[in-house]
């Protein structure tokens, strides 16, 4: 089977966007108006937004199951009000849960967390536990920069983050490292912030010794690992210069890159320099890059075409398409047929 480990619910019904607008509007108010109510959205509305978009493309492309999370650019972790963060994460995760309930064979859930810039992580731990134990989610998206482009949080090897890591290890779920919208006018969300975050966190993991402390912790770094595989020699060289153990031991037992790289030469490089044990198939559709490459007529984000075109052993192809993802997200097993 083919599992896409990285999809977002970018096509939510309009009423849900209005709810988000109401939450934001309330933050600007001085009075003590009541919290907005999560809108009633019918199963039919949810099905329609999925069937016409993500599920249609999954079927066209031959992808069986997508690990699905709330829209990344709407995670809004820059908002400092903890009550708003809790309400928004809960509503967003509940909506994804409904998708996974309506289409249990095609979607498994991953939650966003109610992080705030430098806020305590208790709410995030509680929401992670709720989503995994009550909603059957298989992982979380962890934002290394809730400030949205100002990088005001400690590096991810800092003990600030440990409460989330402890809960992840206890529940045996991984985190995808995923920022939300950039609030920094110098840093474009989709064309810079996302990729920079991938690179920045990888280098934090080289600097620290997080996996020495948490050997069972697993991170997926999306967007093909940002700049990392392209600069694999640089990272190897820096690792030696900084007297760190080899990357393969120090980082790559616990870190995985997805295949959200939208052209053939990029996927060729990724699969050339990174072990097939560390690559998870993904497309992030419908995500940052929609539409077709005029030179090929194919969709930019149809990453299966690129992976299919790479010369790989059948074993390695199975790892990338299915087996690694089952290993990194072991809670998938409960929902899937045996490999």
Degrees to nearest 5, angle at CA 242 with 241 and 247: 90
* Nearest approach, Cβ of residue 30 and a second copy (Å): 29
Residues 178-217 that bind a second copy (CB under 8 A): 184-188, 190-192, 195-196, 199-200, 202-204, 206-207
Q: Which stretch binds a second copy (CB under 8 A): 23-31, 119-127, 150-158, 319-327?
A: 150-158
Q: Could you say which of 166, 284, 295, 333 is catalytic?
A: 284
User: How many CB atoms are located within 10 Å of the residue 119 CB?
Assistant: 18
Give CA–CA dist 190/184, Å, rounded: 12
What SS3 class is residue 111? Answer: strand
Catalytic-residue membership of 48: no
d(CA 197, CA 214): 21
282 near a second copy (CB under 8 A): no
Over the window 299 to 338, marking each residue x when it contacts a second copy by CB under 8 A and - when it does not, the resulting string is: -xx-------------------------------------
Residues in contact with a second copy, counted by CB under 8 A, come to a total of 58
For residue 67, which of 89, 96, 102 has the smallest C-alpha distance? 96
Between CA 211 and CA 97 the distance in angstroms is 30
| Rounded CA separation 162/268 (Å) | 36
Per DSSP, 245 falls in state P
Least Cβ distance, residue 251 to a second copy (angstroms): 12
Q: Which residue lies nearer to a second copy by CB, 22 or 192?
A: 192
Contact between 284 and 301 (Cβ < 8 Å): yes
261 binds a second copy per the rule CB under 8 A: yes
Distance CA 30, CA 32 (A): 7
The reply on whether position 155 binds a second copy by CB under 8 A is yes
Please report, as residue ranges, which positions from 58 to 117 form the binding site for a second copy (by CB under 8 A): none
Structural contact between residues 169 and 214, judged by C-beta atoms closer than 8 angstroms: yes
Listed ranges 13-21, 74-82, 122-130, 218-226: which one lies at the site for a second copy (CB under 8 A): 218-226
Catalytic residues: 284
- What residues make contact with a second copy under the rule CB under 8 A? 144-145, 149-155, 184-188, 190-192, 195-196, 199-200, 202-204, 206-207, 223-224, 226-227, 229-238, 240-241, 261-263, 265-266, 268-269, 272-273, 288-291, 293, 300-301
């Amino acid at each position: 089977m083919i599992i896409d480990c990285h999809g977002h619910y970018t096509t939510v019904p309009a009423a849900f966007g209005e709810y988000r607008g109401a939450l934001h509007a309330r933050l600007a108010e001085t009075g003590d108006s009541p919290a907005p109510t999560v809108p009633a959205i019918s199963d039919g509305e949810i099905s329609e937004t999925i069937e016409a978009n993500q599920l249609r493309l999954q079927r066209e492309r031959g992808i069986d199951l997508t690990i699905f999370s709330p829209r990344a650019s709407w995670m809004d972790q820059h908002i400092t009000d903890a009550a708003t963060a809790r309400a928004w994460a809960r509503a967003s995760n509940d909506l994804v849960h409904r998708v996974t309930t309506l289409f249990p064979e095609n979607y498994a859930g991953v939650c966003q967390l109610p992080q705030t810039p430098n806020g305590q992580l208790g709410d995030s731990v509680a929401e992670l536990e709720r989503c995994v134990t009550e909603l059957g989610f298989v992982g979380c998206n962890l934002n290394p920069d809730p400030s949205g482009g100002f990088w005001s949080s400690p590096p991810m090897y800092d003990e600030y983050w440990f409460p989330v890591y402890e809960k992840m290890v206890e529940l045996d779920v991984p985190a995808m490292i995923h920022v939300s919208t950039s609030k920094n006018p110098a840093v474009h969300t989709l064309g810079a912030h996302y990729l920079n975050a991938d690179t920045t966190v990888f280098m934090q993991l080289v600097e620290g010794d997080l996996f020495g402390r948490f050997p069972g912790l697993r991170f997926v770094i999306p967007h093909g690992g940002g700049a990392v595989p392209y600069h694999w020699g640089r990272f190897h060289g820096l690792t030696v210069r900084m007297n760190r153990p080899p990357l393969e031991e120090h980082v790559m037992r616990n870190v995985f890159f997805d295949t959200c790289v939208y052209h053939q030469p990029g996927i060729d490089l990724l699969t050339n320099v990174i072990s097939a044990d560390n690559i998870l198939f993904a497309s992030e559709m419908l995500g940052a890059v929609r539409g077709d490459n005029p030179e090929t007529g194919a969709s930019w984000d149809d990453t299966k075409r690129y992976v299919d075109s790479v010369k790989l052993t059948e074993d390695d192809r199975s790892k990338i398409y299915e087996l690694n993802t089952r290993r990194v997200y072991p809670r998938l097993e409960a929902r899937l047929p045996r490999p």
